[in-house]
């Protein structure tokens, strides 16, 4: 049976770890990127060297037409997308009163609109076959809020509402929709906070460390597996106990 997995924003960080884990679990994987072509191609090369199926595709997930092209490319090369991981996202710190229209719309367009675009692109096949799995990557800040990250937290909270609502809508078609809400994960995205802040966040985390991309990849892989076949509409918070 031909089928594939699409992981948005998967050239680096959490997305890279997710694509790697899914490929090693037997999924042909489309590695999506926007700016980091070399990293995406290196990951695809690594997977192919292991005898696994992978391809890369440059697309801004906020661009509906580009996403549609990407899904068609996955279908033609790897097989219909039956596993979608909405991981692509943008983040940054800013006082709320300083957020411009351009920045606000970019956060919404990528973090929330990107998930909408990708889901709508893969749903026709999933509904027709009455099978499929969607995993949205939110954030613990979407659960508890984050000072100076209002736009980011808003979009991540919206992804949680999207997950729960869409899970109910798609359940009759046997399509599962779940969400992973990472805590502070040691990726390039958080390095901009500075070492002192990262050490403080690690101290605030009950388990005493920052998360790794692999920690989140394991959670996503669980939702993608048959082990979670009776689980839908759920949010798995992987944050070392930060939000307990």
Residues annotated as catalytic are 152
CB 153 within 8 A of CB 139: yes
Assess if residue 115 is contained within a domain: yes
Q: For residue 224, give the H/E element and its range.
A: helix 213-224
143's tokens = 């659960």
Instruction: Write the CB contacts of 17 (distance below 8 Å, at least 6 apart in sequence).
Output: 212, 213, 214, 216, 217
State residue 119's pLDDT score: 98
d(Cα 130, Cα 171) in Å, to the nearest integer?
Answer: 9
Domain count, the chain: 1
Domain range for 51: 4-238
Assess if residue 212 is contained within a domain: yes
Query: Of 9, 14, 133, 18, which Cα lies nearest the Cα of 80?
Result: 133
CB 181 within 8 A of CB 239: yes
State residue 234's pLDDT score: 98
31's tokens = 């590695």
State residue 1's pLDDT score: 74
Q: Is 177 helix (H, G, I), strand (E, B) or coil?
A: strand
Assess if residue 124 is contained within a domain: yes
State residue 110's pLDDT score: 98
State residue 244's pLDDT score: 86
User: Within a 10 A sphere around the Cβ of 91, how many other Cβ atoms?
Assistant: 19
Q: Output the tens digit of pLDDT for each of the chain's 244 residues.
A: 789 999 999 999 999 999 999 999 999 999 999 999 999 999 999 999 999 999 999 999 999 999 999 999 999 999 999 999 999 999 988 999 999 999 999 999 999 999 999 999 999 999 999 999 999 999 999 999 889 899 999 999 999 999 999 999 999 999 999 999 999 999 877 777 778 888 888 999 999 999 999 999 999 999 999 999 999 999 999 999 999 8
Query: Of 51, 65, 57, which Cα lies nearest the Cα of 5?
Result: 57
Q: Is 239 helix (H, G, I), strand (E, B) or coil?
A: coil
Angle of helix 13-24 relative to helix 213-224, nearest 10 degrees, comes to 50
Assess if residue 244 is contained within a domain: no
Rg (CA), the chain: 17
Q: Residue holding tokens 């229209």?
A: 101
**Model confidence pLDDT, tens digit, residues 41-69:** 999 999 999 999 999 999 999 999 999 99
Assess if residue 243 is contained within a domain: no
State residue 197's pLDDT score: 86
Give the domain CATH number at 152.
Answer: 3.40.50.720
């Amino acid at each position: 049976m031909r089928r594939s997995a699409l992981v948005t924003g998967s050239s680096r960080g959490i997305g890279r770890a997710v694509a790697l884990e899914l490929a090693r679990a037997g999924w042909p994987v489309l590695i999506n990127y926007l700016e980091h072509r070399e990293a995406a191609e290196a990951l695809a090369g690594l997977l192919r060297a292991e005898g696994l199926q992978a391809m890369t595709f440059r697309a801004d997930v906020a661009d509906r037409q580009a996403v549609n092209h990407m899904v068609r490319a996955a279908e033609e090369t790897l097989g219909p997308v039956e596993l979608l991981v909405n991981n692509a996202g943008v983040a940054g710190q800013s006082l709320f009163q300083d957020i411009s229209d351009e920045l606000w719309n970019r956060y919404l367009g990528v973090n929330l609109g990107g998930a909408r675009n990708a889901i709508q692109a893969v749903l026709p096949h999933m509904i027709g076959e009455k099978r499929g799995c969607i995993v949205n990557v939110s954030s613990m800040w979407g659960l508890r809020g984050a000072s100076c990250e209002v736009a980011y937290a808003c979009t991540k909270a919206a992804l949680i509402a999207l997950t729960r609502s869409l899970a109910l809508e798609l359940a009759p078609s046997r399509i599962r929709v779940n969400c992973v809400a990472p805590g502070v994960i040691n990726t390039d995205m958080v390095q901009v906070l500075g070492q002192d802040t990262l050490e403080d966040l690690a101290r605030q985390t009950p388990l005493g460390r920052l998360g790794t991309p692999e920690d989140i990849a394991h959670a996503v892989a669980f939702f993608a597996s048959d082990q979670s076949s009776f689980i839908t509409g759920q949010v798995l918070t992987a944050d070392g106990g930060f939000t307990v």
